[in-house]
Amino acid sequence: MSKYRPNRLAETLKEEVSQLIRVELKDPRIGFVTVTSVEVAGDLAHAKVYVSVLGTEDEGKTSLEVLNRASGFVRCEIGKRVRLRHVPAIVFVYDPSIEHGAHIAKLLRDVSVSDDTGKDESHE
């Protein structure tokens, strides 16, 4: 089976799930959630939705639990919005890549600041 259809469905799901989280899900326990990517299985039966949550670790865990409990609602709404014979089962997975990138950026800033102070002292 070609990889084209799962990739195309993944992009569609990413857009639709992002909009559903932003507009339809009114649960106050859901924090600032960003859908980073979606992986669809080759048979189109399962989809992993990777999300990143801005906030503390506890807020992230709570948001992820609420999203996984709402996965049936999300799947039903996607079935109404996207024309598919079978809507894939949706599982929300925490994606730490944004936090990891922010941590690396902070480390690089710290190194550049220490290099700048080291250069200033050596020229005196």
Every domain of the chain and the residues it spans: 4-96
pLDDT at position 2 is 60
pLDDT at position 124 is 46
Q: 4-96 maps to which CATH number?
A: 3.30.300.20
Neighbours of 21 (CB within 10 A): 21
E-strand stretches of 1-124? 32-40, 46-54, 89-94
pLDDT at position 119 is 61
pLDDT at position 56 is 83
Both tokens assigned to 122: 């050596």
Q: What is the mean pLDDT of each run of 10 residues along the chain (124 residues)?
A: 79 92 88 90 92 86 92 92 90 85 86 71 49
Tokens 């924090």 belong to which residue?
A: 31
CA count, 13 A, side-chain hemisphere, 84: 22
